[in-house]
Chains A and B, each alone.
Chain A
Amino acid sequence: QVQLQESGPGLVKPSGTLSLTCAVSGGSISSSNWWSWIRQPPGKGLEWIGEIYHSGSTNYNPSLKSRVTISVDKSKNQFSLKLSSVTAADTAVYYCARTTVTTSWMDYWGQGTLVTVSS
Chain B
Amino acid sequence: QSVLTQPPSVSGAPGQRVTISCTGSSSNIGAGYDVHWYQQLPGTAPKLLIYGNSNRPSGVPDRFSGSKSGTSASLAITGLQAEDEADYYCQSYDSSLSGSKVFGTGTKVTVL
Stretch of A19-27, A42-50, A68-76, A80-88 at the chain-chain interface: A42-50
B92, A48: Cβ atoms closer than 8 Å: no
B89, A107: Cβ atoms closer than 8 Å: no
The interface on chain B, measured as residues whose beta carbon lies within 8 A of the other chain's beta carbons, has a size of: 27
B101, A104: Cβ atoms closer than 8 Å: yes
Q: Does B61 contact A (CB under 8 A)?
A: no
Q: Does A109 contact B (CB under 8 A)?
A: yes
Cα–Cα distance between A27 and B51 once the two chains are bound (Å): 21
A48, B102: Cβ atoms closer than 8 Å: yes
Cα–Cα distance between A36 and B91 once the two chains are bound (Å): 14
Cα–Cα distance between A114 and B70 once the two chains are bound (Å): 37
A65 (CB) vs chain B CBs: closest residue: B98
* A109-B98 CB under 8 A given contacts A45-B105, A103-B51: no
User: B47-97: which have CB < 8 Å to A?
Assistant: 47-48, 51-52, 57, 89, 91-93, 97
- What are 5 of the A-B contact pairs (CB < 8 Å)? A36-B101, A45-B2, A62-B100, A103-B52, A104-B93
Chain A interfacial positions (CB closer than 8 Å to B): 36, 38, 45-48, 51, 59-62, 65, 95, 99, 103-107, 109-112
